[in-house]
C-alpha cells in the first residue's frame, strides 16, 4: 500500500544509475511540453546537460483539450526522445495515454508519466503495474488525496513498486492562475505516504513569471523534485507556450534551488 506503516518509511525510486527520487538530492526535470522536432530537443538537451538538471521531459502523445489542436508527434516523437536519451545520456520522461502505447514507450524512456486526465483510468494503472519501469503519476484535475493515493495503489498492487507522485495544481474558481498549486497536499503526502512526491509548477500556475516562486516554495515544502516546462523559444511552443521558461530561466531557477534544498 502507499500509506506509511511507520513514520520513517521511504521508497526510493531510481531514475537512472545515478539519480533517484526520494533520496537526499532533489531531482529536477526540464523540457518542453511537447517534442516538436529533433532540432528543438537537441537545443534543450545540449543546454541542460552540463547543469544540475538530471532529466528531460517532452510529450509525444498529448492529451489536448481540443481535438483540433496538435496531438503530439507520436512514434516519430518517441524516436527523437530515444535518440536524445542515448546521445546525451540523460533520462527522459514522457506521457503514456493508453495501454497500447505502453510497450513502445517503456522500451525507450526511463519513467512513464500518467497525466492528470488519466489518474483514474484504472485499466491503464493496472497495466502499468506490470511494467518494469517507474511511473510518474500526476494528480487528477480535481482529485482528493484519497483518490490520488488509491490511484497509486492500483499501480503498486499490480506489481510495480516504483511510483512517484506529482502535484500539478487543482481546479478552483479563479482562472488567473491556470490551477491552484496545492502545497498543503505535498506536505500531507510526505507525512502519510512513503512514495516520493514532486511538483509541476508549470501546469499549476500556467504563467512563466509565476513558475519560479512556486518551484522554490515546493522545495521549501519538502518536495522531492520538480518537473518544469522550458523551451528554446518559449513563445513559439506549439503547446503551453504561456507557461514555458526559456532555457536560461530554467537553469537559473535550478541554481537558485540549491540553498533552499539545503535548508529543508
From the list 193, 213, 192, the residue with the least C-alpha distance to 204 is: 213
Residue with C-alpha cell 503498486? 156
* CA distances in angstroms from 155 to 119, 161, 166, 225, 255, listed in the order given: 11, 7, 15, 21, 34
167 binds, among ligand PEP, Mn ion, none (CB under 5 to 8 A by kind): none
239 bridge partner residues: none
Q: Which stretch binds ligand PEP (CB under 6 A): 19-27, 98-106, 112-120, 213-221?
A: 112-120
Looking at beta carbons, which residue is closest to Mn ion? Answer: 33
Task: Please give the radius of gyration of the chain, using alpha carbons only, rounded to the nearest integer.
Answer: 17
Show contacts with ligand PEP in window 3-42 (CB under 6 A).
33
Show contacts with ligand PEP in window 213-232 (CB under 6 A).
none
Strand 13-14 with 225-229, pairing: unpaired
Strand 13-14 with 20-21, pairing: antiparallel
Our CB check for ligand PEP shows the closer of 95 and 153 to be 95
Residue with C-alpha cell 481535438? 67
Question: To the nearest whole angstrom, how small is the minimum distance from the Cβ of residue 138 to ligand PEP?
Answer: 4
Our CB check for Mn ion shows the closer of 33 and 219 to be 33
Backbone angles phi, psi at 224, to 5 degrees: -85, -5
* Binding-residue pattern over the window 239 to 258 for ligand PEP, x denoting contact by CB under 6 A: --------------------
Question: To the nearest whole angstrom, how small is the minimum distance from the Cβ of residue 30 to Mn ion?
Answer: 12
Q: Phi-psi region for residue 74, left (φ > 0), alpha (ψ -120 to 50) or beta?
A: left
138 binds ligand PEP (CB under 6 A): yes
* Contact pick of 27, 33, 102, 223 for Mn ion (by CB under 5 A): 33
Site residues for ligand PEP per CB under 6 A: 33, 59, 63, 115-117, 138, 168, 200, 203
Amino acid at each position: 500500500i502507499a500509506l506509511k506503516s511507520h513514520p520513517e518509511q521511504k521508497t526510493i525510486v531510481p531514475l537512472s544509475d545515478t539519480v533517484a527520487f526520494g533520496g537526499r538530492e532533489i531531482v529536477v526535470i526540464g523540457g518542453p511540453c511537447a517534442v516538436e522536432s529533433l532540432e528543438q530537443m537537441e537545443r534543450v538537451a545540449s543546454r541542460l546537460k552540463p547543469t544540475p538538471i538530471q532529466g528531460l521531459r517532452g510529450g509525444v502523445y498529448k492529451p489536448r483539450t481540443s481535438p483540433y489542436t496538435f496531438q503530439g508527434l507520436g512514434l516519430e516523437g518517441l524516436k527523437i526522445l530515444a535518440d536524445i536519451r542515448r546521445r546525451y545520456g540523460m533520462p527522459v520522461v514522457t506521457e503514456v495515454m493508453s495501454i497500447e502505447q505502453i510497450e513502445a514507450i517503456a522500451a525507450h524512456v526511463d519513467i512513464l508519466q500518467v497525466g492528470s486526465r488519466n489518474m483514474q483510468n484504472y485499466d491503464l494503472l493496472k497495466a502499468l503495474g506490470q511494467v518494469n519501469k517507474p511511473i510518474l503519476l500526476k494528480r487528477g484535475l480535481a482529485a482528493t488525496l484519497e483518490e490520488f493515493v488509491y490511484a497509486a495503489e492500483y499501480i503498486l498492487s499490480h506489481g510495480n513498486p516504483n511510483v512517484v507522485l506529482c502535484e500539478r495544481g487543482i481546479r478552483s474558481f479563479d482562472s488567473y492562475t491556470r490551477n491552484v498549486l496545492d502545497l498543503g497536499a505535498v506536505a500531507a503526502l510526505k507525512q502519510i505516504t512513503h512514495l516520493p512526491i514532486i511538483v509541476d509548477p508549470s501546469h499549476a500556475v500556467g504563467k512563466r513569471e509565476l513558475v519560479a516562486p512556486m518551484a522554490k516554495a515546493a522545495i521549501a515544502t519538502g518536495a522531492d523534485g520538480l518537473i518544469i516546462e522550458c523551451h528554446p523559444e518559449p513563445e513559439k511552443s506549439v503547446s503551453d507556450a504561456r507557461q514555458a521558461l526559456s532555457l536560461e530561466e530554467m537553469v537559473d531557477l535550478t541554481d537558485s534551488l540549491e540553498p533552499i534544498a539545503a535548508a529543508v
